[in-house]
Protein backbone atom coordinates (compact mmCIF):
# COMPACT_ATOMS: atom_id res chain seq x y z
CA UNK A 1 0.00 0.00 0.00
CA UNK A 2 1.34 3.43 -0.96
CA UNK A 3 1.34 5.79 2.04
CA UNK A 4 1.25 9.58 2.12
CA UNK A 5 2.27 10.78 5.59
CA UNK A 6 1.19 14.25 6.68
CA UNK A 7 3.20 15.38 9.69
CA UNK A 8 6.21 13.07 9.53
CA UNK A 9 8.32 14.96 12.06
CA UNK A 10 5.82 14.83 14.93
CA UNK A 11 5.26 12.14 17.55
CA UNK A 12 2.60 10.19 15.61
CA UNK A 13 4.44 10.75 12.33
CA UNK A 14 7.75 9.37 13.59
CA UNK A 15 6.00 6.33 15.09
CA UNK A 16 4.17 5.79 11.80
CA UNK A 17 7.58 5.70 10.10
CA UNK A 18 8.60 3.03 12.63
CA UNK A 19 5.57 0.90 11.73
CA UNK A 20 6.22 1.29 8.00
CA UNK A 21 9.90 0.41 8.48
CA UNK A 22 8.95 -2.83 10.25
CA UNK A 23 6.43 -3.80 7.56
CA UNK A 24 8.14 -2.94 4.23
CA UNK A 25 6.39 -5.81 2.46
CA UNK A 26 3.02 -4.11 3.00
CA UNK A 27 3.70 -0.37 2.98
CA UNK A 28 5.60 2.00 0.70
CA UNK A 29 6.09 5.62 1.71
CA UNK A 30 5.63 7.80 -1.38
CA UNK A 31 5.35 11.30 0.08
CA UNK A 32 5.34 13.22 3.34
CA UNK A 33 5.25 16.63 4.97
CA UNK A 34 7.27 18.11 7.81
CA UNK A 35 6.98 21.34 9.76
CA UNK A 36 9.96 23.26 11.10
CA UNK A 37 11.83 20.13 12.18
CA UNK A 38 13.45 19.08 8.90
CA UNK A 39 16.31 16.94 10.20
CA UNK A 40 14.27 13.79 9.71
CA UNK A 41 14.11 14.30 5.93
CA UNK A 42 17.52 12.79 5.19
CA UNK A 43 16.86 9.88 7.56
CA UNK A 44 13.53 9.09 5.93
CA UNK A 45 14.84 9.39 2.37
CA UNK A 46 17.73 7.08 3.19
CA UNK A 47 15.28 4.29 3.99
CA UNK A 48 12.45 5.19 1.61
CA UNK A 49 13.71 5.54 -1.96
CA UNK A 50 10.20 5.71 -3.44
CA UNK A 51 9.40 9.13 -1.95
CA UNK A 52 8.85 11.67 -4.73
CA UNK A 53 7.10 14.56 -2.98
CA UNK A 54 7.90 16.37 0.27
CA UNK A 55 6.26 19.48 1.67
CA UNK A 56 7.98 21.76 4.18
CA UNK A 57 7.30 25.28 5.39
CA UNK A 58 10.68 26.94 4.77
CA UNK A 59 11.25 27.81 1.08
CA UNK A 60 15.02 28.23 1.53
CA UNK A 61 15.34 24.78 3.07
CA UNK A 62 13.22 23.33 0.29
CA UNK A 63 15.70 24.77 -2.19
CA UNK A 64 18.64 23.30 -0.27
CA UNK A 65 17.08 19.85 -0.13
CA UNK A 66 16.18 20.02 -3.83
CA UNK A 67 19.86 20.31 -4.69
CA UNK A 68 20.75 17.39 -2.43
CA UNK A 69 17.90 15.18 -3.65
CA UNK A 70 17.15 16.19 -7.27
CA UNK A 71 14.85 13.18 -7.81
CA UNK A 72 12.43 14.48 -5.15
CA UNK A 73 9.94 17.32 -5.63
CA UNK A 74 10.20 19.67 -2.66
CA UNK A 75 7.20 21.95 -2.10
CA UNK A 76 7.17 24.88 0.31
CA UNK A 77 4.60 27.24 1.77
CA UNK A 78 5.88 29.94 -0.61
CA UNK A 79 4.18 28.37 -3.64
CA UNK A 80 1.99 25.58 -2.29
CA UNK A 81 -0.51 24.62 0.35
CA UNK A 82 0.16 21.50 2.38
CA UNK A 83 -3.02 19.95 0.98
CA UNK A 84 -1.49 20.12 -2.54
CA UNK A 85 0.36 16.93 -1.62
CA UNK A 86 -2.99 15.12 -1.71
CA UNK A 87 -3.44 16.17 -5.35
CA UNK A 88 0.13 15.53 -6.48
CA UNK A 89 1.04 12.24 -4.79
CA UNK A 90 -0.16 8.87 -6.11
CA UNK A 91 -1.17 7.15 -2.86
CA UNK A 92 -3.64 4.60 -1.49
CA UNK A 93 -3.82 5.77 2.13
CA UNK A 94 -3.00 9.09 3.74
CA UNK A 95 -1.96 9.19 7.39
CA UNK A 96 -3.02 12.55 8.82
CA UNK A 97 -0.73 13.12 11.80
CA UNK A 98 -1.01 16.89 11.68
CA UNK A 99 -1.87 18.95 14.75
CA UNK A 100 -4.63 21.53 14.71
CA UNK A 101 -6.92 23.07 12.10
CA UNK A 102 -4.23 22.66 9.43
CA UNK A 103 -5.21 19.00 9.21
CA UNK A 104 -8.81 19.65 8.16
CA UNK A 105 -8.45 20.49 4.46
CA UNK A 106 -6.14 17.51 3.77
CA UNK A 107 -8.66 15.19 5.47
CA UNK A 108 -11.48 16.52 3.30
CA UNK A 109 -9.37 16.26 0.14
CA UNK A 110 -8.31 12.67 0.84
CA UNK A 111 -11.92 11.55 1.21
CA UNK A 112 -13.05 13.55 -1.81
CA UNK A 113 -10.43 11.68 -3.87
CA UNK A 114 -12.02 8.46 -2.62
CA UNK A 115 -8.86 7.41 -0.78
CA UNK A 116 -8.30 5.80 2.61
CA UNK A 117 -7.67 8.14 5.54
CA UNK A 118 -5.90 7.03 8.72
CA UNK A 119 -6.76 9.89 11.04
CA UNK A 120 -4.78 11.06 14.06
CA UNK A 121 -5.81 14.70 13.55
CA UNK A 122 -8.60 15.00 16.13
CA UNK A 123 -9.46 18.49 14.97
CA UNK A 124 -10.78 17.24 11.61
CA UNK A 125 -13.77 15.58 13.28
CA UNK A 126 -14.16 18.14 16.07
CA UNK A 127 -14.42 20.98 13.55
CA UNK A 128 -16.03 19.23 10.58
CA UNK A 129 -17.55 15.97 11.74
CA UNK A 130 -20.76 16.68 9.84
CA UNK A 131 -18.92 17.34 6.56
CA UNK A 132 -16.70 14.28 6.94
CA UNK A 133 -19.61 11.96 7.73
CA UNK A 134 -21.53 13.38 4.77
CA UNK A 135 -18.64 12.44 2.47
CA UNK A 136 -18.45 8.96 3.98
CA UNK A 137 -22.22 8.51 3.65
CA UNK A 138 -21.88 9.45 -0.03
CA UNK A 139 -19.38 6.63 -0.44
CA UNK A 140 -16.34 8.89 -0.60
CA UNK A 141 -13.22 7.29 0.86
CA UNK A 142 -12.73 5.32 4.06
CA UNK A 143 -11.80 6.51 7.55
CA UNK A 144 -9.72 4.65 10.14
CA UNK A 145 -8.95 6.27 13.52
CA UNK A 146 -5.44 6.49 14.94
CA UNK A 147 -6.04 6.94 18.63
CA UNK A 148 -5.57 4.53 21.50
CA UNK A 149 -9.10 5.09 22.81
CA UNK A 150 -10.90 4.90 19.48
CA UNK A 151 -8.78 2.00 18.29
CA UNK A 152 -9.82 0.12 21.43
CA UNK A 153 -13.51 0.92 20.86
CA UNK A 154 -13.20 -0.13 17.21
CA UNK A 155 -11.76 -3.49 18.25
CA UNK A 156 -14.42 -4.07 20.89
CA UNK A 157 -17.19 -3.24 18.42
CA UNK A 158 -15.68 -5.66 15.91
CA UNK A 159 -16.04 -8.41 18.53
CA UNK A 160 -19.55 -7.44 19.67
CA UNK A 161 -21.54 -4.38 18.67
CA UNK A 162 -24.90 -5.68 19.92
CA UNK A 163 -26.54 -4.54 23.15
CA UNK A 164 -24.03 -1.78 23.86
CA UNK A 165 -25.18 0.30 26.81
CA UNK A 166 -22.33 2.79 26.78
CA UNK A 167 -18.84 3.36 25.38
CA UNK A 168 -16.36 4.55 28.00
CA UNK A 169 -13.27 6.56 27.13
CA UNK A 170 -10.52 6.19 29.70
CA UNK A 171 -8.43 9.22 30.67
CA UNK A 172 -5.17 9.59 32.56
CA UNK A 173 -6.16 12.97 33.98
CA UNK A 174 -2.92 14.56 32.73
CA UNK A 175 0.06 15.94 34.58
CA UNK A 176 -2.03 17.74 37.21
CA UNK A 177 -4.44 14.93 38.04
CA UNK A 178 -3.44 14.94 41.73
CA UNK A 179 -4.06 18.69 42.11
CA UNK A 180 -7.37 20.27 43.05
CA UNK A 181 -8.77 23.34 41.30
CA UNK A 182 -7.22 25.82 43.72
CA UNK A 183 -3.78 24.33 43.14
CA UNK A 184 -3.95 24.93 39.37
CA UNK A 185 -3.65 28.71 39.63
CA UNK A 186 0.11 29.01 39.09
CA UNK A 187 1.11 25.77 37.35
CA UNK A 188 3.57 26.30 34.48
CA UNK A 189 3.77 24.72 31.06
CA UNK A 190 7.01 22.91 31.90
CA UNK A 191 5.11 21.03 34.62
CA UNK A 192 2.12 20.34 32.38
CA UNK A 193 4.39 18.67 29.80
CA UNK A 194 5.36 15.93 32.26
CA UNK A 195 2.62 13.47 31.31
CA UNK A 196 2.39 10.56 33.77
CA UNK A 197 1.94 7.73 31.24
CA UNK A 198 2.29 8.89 27.61
CA UNK A 199 5.07 10.57 25.61
CA UNK A 200 3.40 12.91 23.13
CA UNK A 201 3.71 16.27 21.43
CA UNK A 202 3.49 19.49 23.45
CA UNK A 203 0.00 20.60 22.43
CA UNK A 204 -1.73 17.28 23.03
CA UNK A 205 0.07 16.94 26.38
CA UNK A 206 -1.39 20.27 27.51
CA UNK A 207 -4.76 19.15 26.13
CA UNK A 208 -4.51 16.12 28.42
CA UNK A 209 -3.89 18.36 31.43
CA UNK A 210 -6.98 20.48 30.67
CA UNK A 211 -8.86 17.38 29.46
CA UNK A 212 -9.73 19.18 26.22
CA UNK A 213 -8.24 16.07 24.67
CA UNK A 214 -11.00 13.94 26.22
CA UNK A 215 -13.61 16.50 25.19
CA UNK A 216 -12.33 16.13 21.61
CA UNK A 217 -12.40 12.33 21.87
CA UNK A 218 -16.03 12.31 23.00
CA UNK A 219 -16.90 14.41 19.95
CA UNK A 220 -14.84 12.08 17.74
CA UNK A 221 -16.58 9.02 19.15
CA UNK A 222 -19.95 10.57 18.36
CA UNK A 223 -19.00 11.03 14.71
CA UNK A 224 -16.90 7.88 14.25
CA UNK A 225 -19.39 5.43 15.72
CA UNK A 226 -22.62 7.45 15.35
CA UNK A 227 -23.33 7.11 19.07
CA UNK A 228 -25.34 9.84 20.86
CA UNK A 229 -23.66 11.90 23.57
CA UNK A 230 -25.78 10.15 26.21
CA UNK A 231 -24.09 6.83 25.42
CA UNK A 232 -20.48 8.10 25.73
CA UNK A 233 -18.78 8.32 29.13
CA UNK A 234 -15.39 8.95 30.74
CA UNK A 235 -13.48 7.04 33.42
CA UNK A 236 -10.17 8.15 34.96
CA UNK A 237 -7.51 5.45 34.83
CA UNK A 238 -4.04 5.91 36.32
CA UNK A 239 -1.92 3.51 34.29
CA UNK A 240 -3.39 4.05 30.76
CA UNK A 241 -3.42 0.28 30.19
CA UNK A 242 -7.16 -0.08 29.63
CA UNK A 243 -7.50 2.10 26.56
CA UNK A 244 -11.30 2.26 26.52
CA UNK A 245 -14.16 -0.17 26.96
CA UNK A 246 -17.79 -0.96 26.22
CA UNK A 247 -20.47 -1.70 28.79
CA UNK A 248 -23.30 -3.96 27.64
CA UNK A 249 -26.94 -4.23 28.64
CA UNK A 250 -26.31 -7.69 30.11
CA UNK A 251 -23.92 -6.18 32.66
CA UNK A 252 -20.69 -7.32 31.00
CA UNK A 253 -17.77 -5.19 29.80
CA UNK A 254 -15.20 -5.49 27.02
CA UNK A 255 -12.01 -3.47 26.63
CA UNK A 256 -8.50 -3.49 25.22
CA UNK A 257 -5.64 -3.81 27.71
CA UNK A 258 -2.04 -3.17 26.64
CA UNK A 259 0.94 -0.99 27.45
CA UNK A 260 0.58 2.65 26.34
CA UNK A 261 2.23 2.60 22.90
CA UNK A 262 0.79 4.51 19.94
CA UNK A 263 2.39 2.13 17.46
CA UNK A 264 -0.40 -0.36 18.19
CA UNK A 265 -3.30 1.87 17.05
CA UNK A 266 -1.19 3.21 14.17
CA UNK A 267 -0.55 -0.31 12.91
CA UNK A 268 -4.20 -1.30 13.35
CA UNK A 269 -5.31 1.71 11.26
CA UNK A 270 -2.71 1.10 8.54
CA UNK A 271 -3.93 -2.48 8.19
CA UNK A 272 -7.54 -1.21 8.24
CA UNK A 273 -8.31 -3.45 11.21
CA UNK A 274 -7.41 -6.61 9.28
CA UNK A 275 -4.78 -8.00 11.63
CA UNK A 276 -5.08 -10.13 14.78
CA UNK A 277 -6.00 -8.28 17.95
CA UNK A 278 -7.25 -9.11 21.42
CA UNK A 279 -9.85 -7.61 23.71
CA UNK A 280 -10.79 -8.72 27.19
CA UNK A 281 -14.21 -9.38 28.65
CA UNK A 282 -14.72 -8.63 32.36
CA UNK A 283 -17.63 -8.30 34.76
CA UNK A 284 -16.27 -5.36 36.77
CA UNK A 285 -13.32 -2.96 36.76
CA UNK A 286 -12.29 -4.55 40.06
CA UNK A 287 -11.52 -7.72 38.08
CA UNK A 288 -8.58 -5.89 36.49
CA UNK A 289 -5.99 -6.44 39.19
CA UNK A 290 -3.22 -3.89 39.52
CA UNK A 291 -5.14 -1.22 37.58
CA UNK A 292 -6.66 1.81 39.27
CA UNK A 293 -9.80 3.72 38.30
CA UNK A 294 -11.58 6.83 39.55
CA UNK A 295 -14.98 8.31 38.72
CA UNK A 296 -14.75 11.34 36.46
CA UNK A 297 -15.55 14.63 38.22
CA UNK A 298 -16.87 17.17 35.67
CA UNK A 299 -16.35 20.05 38.10
CA UNK A 300 -12.61 19.29 38.18
CA UNK A 301 -12.34 19.24 34.38
CA UNK A 302 -15.14 21.60 33.23
CA UNK A 303 -14.02 21.82 29.59
CA UNK A 304 -15.18 18.24 28.98
CA UNK A 305 -18.77 19.47 29.26
CA UNK A 306 -18.40 21.31 25.94
CA UNK A 307 -18.49 17.99 24.09
CA UNK A 308 -22.22 17.88 24.80
CA UNK A 309 -22.78 21.31 23.26
CA UNK A 310 -20.77 20.44 20.14
CA UNK A 311 -22.44 17.06 19.58
CA UNK A 312 -25.99 18.25 20.28
CA UNK A 313 -25.88 21.67 18.59
CA UNK A 314 -23.28 20.82 15.91
CA UNK A 315 -22.77 23.61 13.39
CA UNK A 316 -19.71 25.78 13.99
CA UNK A 317 -19.30 25.25 17.74
CA UNK A 318 -16.54 22.69 17.13
CA UNK A 319 -14.59 25.24 15.08
CA UNK A 320 -14.81 27.76 17.94
CA UNK A 321 -13.75 25.20 20.54
CA UNK A 322 -10.80 24.05 18.47
CA UNK A 323 -9.34 27.42 17.50
CA UNK A 324 -9.83 29.03 20.91
CA UNK A 325 -8.07 26.07 22.48
CA UNK A 326 -5.31 25.96 19.88
CA UNK A 327 -4.33 29.60 20.34
CA UNK A 328 -4.75 29.55 24.12
CA UNK A 329 -2.51 26.48 24.43
CA UNK A 330 0.17 28.11 22.26
CA UNK A 331 0.05 31.18 24.50
CA UNK A 332 0.29 29.04 27.63
CA UNK A 333 3.29 27.15 26.23
CA UNK A 334 4.99 30.54 25.85
CA UNK A 335 4.06 31.44 29.46
CA UNK A 336 1.90 34.34 28.22
CA UNK A 337 -1.22 33.24 30.07
CA UNK A 338 -2.07 31.14 33.11
CA UNK A 339 -3.20 27.52 32.91
CA UNK A 340 -6.77 28.34 33.96
CA UNK A 341 -6.90 31.12 31.36
CA UNK A 342 -7.12 28.40 28.71
CA UNK A 343 -10.57 27.33 29.86
CA UNK A 344 -11.67 30.90 30.59
CA UNK A 345 -10.89 31.91 27.00
CA UNK A 346 -12.67 28.88 25.55
CA UNK A 347 -15.81 29.28 27.64
CA UNK A 348 -16.01 33.01 26.86
CA UNK A 349 -15.79 32.50 23.09
CA UNK A 350 -18.17 29.54 23.07
CA UNK A 351 -20.73 31.54 25.03
CA UNK A 352 -20.50 34.53 22.70
CA UNK A 353 -20.63 32.53 19.46
CA UNK A 354 -23.69 32.58 17.19
CA UNK A 355 -23.91 29.09 15.76
CA UNK A 356 -24.04 28.47 12.00
CA UNK A 357 -26.04 25.33 11.20
CA UNK A 358 -25.00 22.94 8.41
CA UNK A 359 -21.79 24.88 7.77
CA UNK A 360 -19.84 24.66 4.53
CA UNK A 361 -16.05 24.35 4.52
CA UNK A 362 -15.89 28.08 3.78
CA UNK A 363 -18.08 28.76 6.83
CA UNK A 364 -15.72 26.75 9.02
CA UNK A 365 -12.66 28.55 7.66
CA UNK A 366 -14.33 31.93 8.23
CA UNK A 367 -15.26 31.06 11.83
CA UNK A 368 -11.76 29.71 12.45
CA UNK A 369 -10.20 32.99 11.28
CA UNK A 370 -12.67 35.05 13.31
CA UNK A 371 -12.07 33.09 16.51
CA UNK A 372 -8.32 33.24 15.92
CA UNK A 373 -8.47 37.05 15.89
CA UNK A 374 -10.76 37.22 18.94
CA UNK A 375 -8.54 34.82 20.90
CA UNK A 376 -5.44 36.87 20.23
CA UNK A 377 -7.21 40.04 21.36
CA UNK A 378 -8.10 38.35 24.65
CA UNK A 379 -4.56 37.04 25.08
CA UNK A 380 -3.14 40.54 24.54
CA UNK A 381 -5.52 41.90 27.20
CA UNK A 382 -4.38 39.19 29.62
CA UNK A 383 -0.73 40.01 28.95
CA UNK A 384 -1.41 43.68 29.66
CA UNK A 385 -3.39 42.89 32.80
CA UNK A 386 -6.55 44.37 31.28
CA UNK A 387 -8.69 41.21 31.21
CA UNK A 388 -11.27 40.85 33.95
CA UNK A 389 -13.03 37.49 34.19
Model pLDDT for residues 331-346, shown as the tens digit of each residue: 999 999 999 999 999 9
Chain segment 180-237, per-residue pLDDT in tens: 999 999 999 888 888 777 667 788 889 999 999 999 999 999 999 999 999 999 999 9
Chain segment 13-72, per-residue pLDDT in tens: 999 999 999 999 999 999 999 998 999 999 999 999 999 999 999 999 999 999 999 999
pLDDT at 374: 98
Q: Cβ neighbours of residue 254 under 8 Å, at least 6 residues apart? A: 156, 159, 160, 245, 246, 248, 279, 280, 281, 282
Cβ neighbours around 39 below 10 Å, total: 8
Together in a domain, 174 and 214 = yes
pLDDT at 124: 97
**389 belongs to a structural domain:** no
Q: Cβ neighbours of residue 366 under 8 Å, at least 6 residues apart? A: none
pLDDT at 333: 95
Together in a domain, 329 and 258 = no
**302 belongs to a structural domain:** no
Together in a domain, 202 and 81 = no
Domain boundary among 244, 260, 295: 295
**36 belongs to a structural domain:** yes
Range of the domain at 81: 2-145
Q: Are 367 and 356 in contact (CB under 8 A)?
A: yes
pTM: 0.95
pLDDT at 45: 97
pLDDT at 198: 66
pLDDT at 131: 98
**Domains of the chain: total:** 3
Domain boundary among 228, 263, 295: 295
Calculate mean pLDDT across residues 286-313. 96
Higher pLDDT, 192 or 357: 357
* Res. 86: pLDDT tops 80: yes
Together in a domain, 95 and 219 = no
Chain segment 141-154, per-residue pLDDT in tens: 999 999 999 999 99
Amino acid sequence: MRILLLGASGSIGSQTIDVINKNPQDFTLVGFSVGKRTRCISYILKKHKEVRYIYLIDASKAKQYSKKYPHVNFLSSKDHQLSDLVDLVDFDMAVNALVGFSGLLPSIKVLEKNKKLALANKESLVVAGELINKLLDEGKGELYPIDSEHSALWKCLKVNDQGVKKMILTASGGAFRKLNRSELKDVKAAEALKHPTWKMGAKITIDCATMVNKCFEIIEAGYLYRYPYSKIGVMLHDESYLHSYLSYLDGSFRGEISKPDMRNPIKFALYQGNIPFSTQSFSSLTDLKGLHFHEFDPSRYPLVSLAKLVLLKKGTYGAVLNRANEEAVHAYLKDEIAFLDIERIIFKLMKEHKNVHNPSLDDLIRVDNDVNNKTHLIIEKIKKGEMRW
